[in-house]
Amino acid sequence: MSWITENSLDIFQRFVVNVLKCGPIPKHVGIIMDGNRRYAKKVNVEKYIGHSKGFDKLSEALVWCKELGIKEVTVYAFSIENFKRTPKEVDELMNLAIEKFEKLLEEEDKLMAEGICVRVIGNMKLLREDFQKLIAKAMLLTKDNTNSILNIAFAYTSREEITSAIKNIVKGVEEQHISLDDVTDALISQCLYTNSNPDLLLRTSGEVRISDFLLWQISHSVIYFTDVLWPEFSFWNFILCILKYQKCYYQIGDIRKNENSTFHYRGNNERIENFLSILKQNELATLQSFCQ
């Protein structure tokens, strides 16, 4: 199954989407796609078939998001902790991911026509070289697209992300790009792999933990846990999730107001801007080095 599928909604579903769009729609949704292996066990197939079904569901979910007007999606594909699984399963997962990224690059025209920006967040140094190359190619190709953003968390944990932000800041001070006084929580936010906060976090398959996913960014997200396994997650489950978000959104109003009054966002000074652009350049240089 390809990444960018044509609209697969039927007339009734499209009608419901249009109706829902009259209410508030989250701009950014985070998804923990849990339950692929439990699904495989349930229907008695090999684990990798469960994972592959999980990917198909992702491409379906991306269509739903697009139709609803959700601009940014961040999915948890592979955690650093997942390296602890059996070597066979890790290999299968990597091969599946590589296969899917090759497919993604084949669909270059569609990607660019739709204006989709694909980014991988995580510690890419932990991945195989051939995989790094594919990721870097996809990221460099789509980096200027702005219509919609797909962040894929691969070899990711939030603690590693925060640690790496601290490292970058310590390095910045060592190299005298910034001073000690420039270090704020806002600066740390800007040094994370992604500085975009999801409005809605969805986790399937009945677990009620965040499991080291975007811990920093979900501080004010609406959290939705559901018992449905990810490969079985349907359009209607998603609609239910959006309705729940809308209900929360109407209740949130006063919290957000409080937040704004207590949260004084200090604008960046020139030094910090300079430092952040250096970080960005370094990131680009790393990606380019992966491509060679």
Q: Which of 123, 120, 168 is nearest to 143 (CA)?
A: 120
Q: Please choose, out of 20-28, 94-102, 133-141, 284-292, the segment that lies near other proteins by the rule CB under 8 A.
A: 20-28
CA dist., res. 112 & res. 30, Å (int):
23
Residue 162 is a binding residue for other proteins (CB under 8 A): yes
The answer to whether 69 touches 21, Cβ cutoff 8 Å, is yes
**38 binding other proteins? (CB under 8 A):** no
- Buried residues in 5-25 as b, exposed as e (16+ CB within 10 A): eeeeeeeebeebbeebeeeeb
Give least dist CB 233 to other proteins, A.
18
- As given in the structure block, the two tokens for residue 10 are 């039927």
Contact residues for 31 (Cβ-Cβ < 8 A; gap 6+): 58, 61, 73, 74, 75, 76, 201, 202, 203, 204
Instruction: Tell me whether residue 22 or residue 144 sits nearer to other proteins (CB atom).
Output: 22
Quick check: 118 and 150 in contact, CB under 8 A? yes
Q: Per-residue x/- marks for other proteins, 131-150, CB under 8 A?
A: --------------------
**CA 230 – CA 39 distance, rounded (Å):** 8
- What dihedral do alpha carbons 31, 248, 148, 270 form, nearest 10°? -100
14 binds other proteins (CB under 8 A): no
Binding mask 198-237 for other proteins (x = CB under 8 A): ----------xxxxx--xx-xxxxxxxx------------
Q: By CB under 8 A, is residue 94 in contact with other proteins? A: no
Q: Which is nearer to other proteins, 13 or 246 (CB)?
A: 246
Within 13 A of 144's CA, how many CA atoms are on the CB side?
Answer: 3
Q: Nearer Cβ to other proteins, position 210 or 284? A: 210
Stretch that binds other proteins, among 61-69, 127-135, 146-154, 238-246 (CB under 8 A): 238-246
For the bound state, the minimum distance from the C-beta of residue 266 to other proteins, rounded and expressed in Å, comes to 13
3-class SS at 111? helix
Nearer to other proteins, 3 or 39 (CB): 39
Shortest Cβ 70–other proteins spacing (Å): 17
Binding residues for other proteins, rule: CB under 8 A, are: 16, 18-23, 79-85, 157-160, 162-163, 166-171, 173-174, 180, 183-185, 188-189, 208-212, 215-216, 218-225, 240, 243-244, 246-248, 251-252, 255, 258, 262
